[in-house]
């Protein structure tokens, strides 16, 4: 029997490095957002098919607010106080841009609440643009930059 040092184990008379396999159990905002996108889309389709009730205007509102929240989470809103105190560094510009986009998407979500009755081409254009932009960012964050 071979005596192995810390971090190693004995196998077939030799010392080999002990490998710890850990599973990452954390998720980020975009994973959660993508999951909720799928769930809301599924619910809208099921309700429309079985009951004839169209929830799509409300789902658009919820998805915009959800996407904006995911952008705020991804932009690390908790660091905003540090950015305001110390000034914007070059590395923090993407985070600040993500925060601004997140706030704009949340405002668009609030303005698109069906009971408010606000309807304009500019809002619809912004909502469409943000939907495409969010889908691209979610795809990049989920499958490419992992």
- pLDDT on residue 29: 59
Helix (DSSP H) and strand (DSSP E) numbers for the chain: 5, 2
Could you say which residues of the chain have pLDDT below 50?
A: 25-26
Distance CA 43, CA 58 (A): 12
- pLDDT on residue 26: 47
What residues contact 79, with CB distance under 8 A and at least 6 apart?
Answer: 92, 95
Residue whose entry in the numeric block shows the structure tokens 């499958």: 143
- pLDDT on residue 96: 80
- pLDDT on residue 30: 60
- pLDDT on residue 16: 78
């Amino acid at each position: 029997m071979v005596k192995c040092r810390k971090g190693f184990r004995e196998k077939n008379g030799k010392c080999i490095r002990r490998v710890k396999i850990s599973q990452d159990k954390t998720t980020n905002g975009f994973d959660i957002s993508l999951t909720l996108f799928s769930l809301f889309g599924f619910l809208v389709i099921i309700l429309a098919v079985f009951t004839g009730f169209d929830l799509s205007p409300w789902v658009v509102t919820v998805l915009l607010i959800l996407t904006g929240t995911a952008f705020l989470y991804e932009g690390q809103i908790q660091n905003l106080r540090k950015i305001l105190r110390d000034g914007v560094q070059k590395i923090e510009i993407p985070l600040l841009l993500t925060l601004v986009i997140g706030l704009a998407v949340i405002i668009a979500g609030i303005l698109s609440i069906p009971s408010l009755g606000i309807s304009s081409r500019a809002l619809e254009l912004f909502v469409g643009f943000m939907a495409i932009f969010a889908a691209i960012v979610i795809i990049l964050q989920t499958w490419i930059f992992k």
